[in-house]
Structure 1
Amino acid sequence: MSESAVVTPATFIIARPEPGEYNPYYERYISLVAGSDILATLDTQRRQTMLLLSGRDESDGDSRYAPDKWNAKEVLGHVCDTERIFAYRALRIARGDQTPIEGYEQDDYVRNGPFAREPLAEIVEDYIAVRRATLTLLRNLDQAAWMRRGVANKNEVT
């Protein structure tokens, strides 16, 4: 391959981020993720989540492990909202947008979201759609886009 050749997502593996490429707050979450290929991991997580949620009914979705904690539908809704926000950040940074991206308050998003009153099956459908959209976005980024830096929630990230 010549030096001027474009590297496509099919020719490289998107590896685990290095310290300095993310907010240290996320270290705990990053360390819990198995594997080193983020695209494969995201797809595996999608399949595992679908297996976990198949056959669940509304009472499962409404269950809470403590009275003041989110129920299962709210947790899944939070996953969807957060993935949308992180995909939006990835898109802006990948496109070279240097405008700082503000953070968000997850509790407000859950409190103001429709999750507690939505059927579990609809939240699951939303999760599938969000994950597919995330995978499509990330698969189409080239290596240069993956390495661009931006500021999200007052932290420099790639």
Structure 2
Amino acid sequence: MKINVTINNKRMDLEVNCDEFLVDTLRKYGYLSVKKGCDTGSCGLCTVWLDEKPVLSCSTLSVRAKGKNITTIEGVQEEANEFAQFLVKEGAEQCGFCSPGFIMTVLAMKEELKNPTEEDIIHYLTGNLCRCTGYVGQLRAVKKYMGVE
């Protein structure tokens, strides 16, 4: 079936199967920053925005995106680069496999939460798994990026 979507401000017609997940569709159309990790909605690697809200693309059927705006990390490069500098300054960058999904979640959190506490940040980021770190550096970077000291 054919669906029309807007990906990173570009209108597109996509050919999808009725049981196809958004992560597979996006990767099929060249959006390789959208990673496949657990395929169970548990790790956050596949996070994209659907109408400006973070969703797990491995558990979202592509047909649910019909007529909607999809944003991948390619669509928010300036903001992603800005946050990445905070990660680097805190020594929190690691292998980078989880970074696109993690960054998409952090950018969404910055839009959604105003003056969050550390507990708010930790709660919002629950579900973003990283196998390289203990999250301490990442949490420091997120707090500084969010203006929480």
Structure with more helix by fraction: 1
**Highest CA radius of gyration, 1 or 2?**
1
Higher RCO structure (Cα 8 Å, ≥6 apart): 1
* TM-score after normalising by structure 1: 0.25
State TM-score, norm by structure 2. 0.26
- Which one has the bigger strand percentage? 2
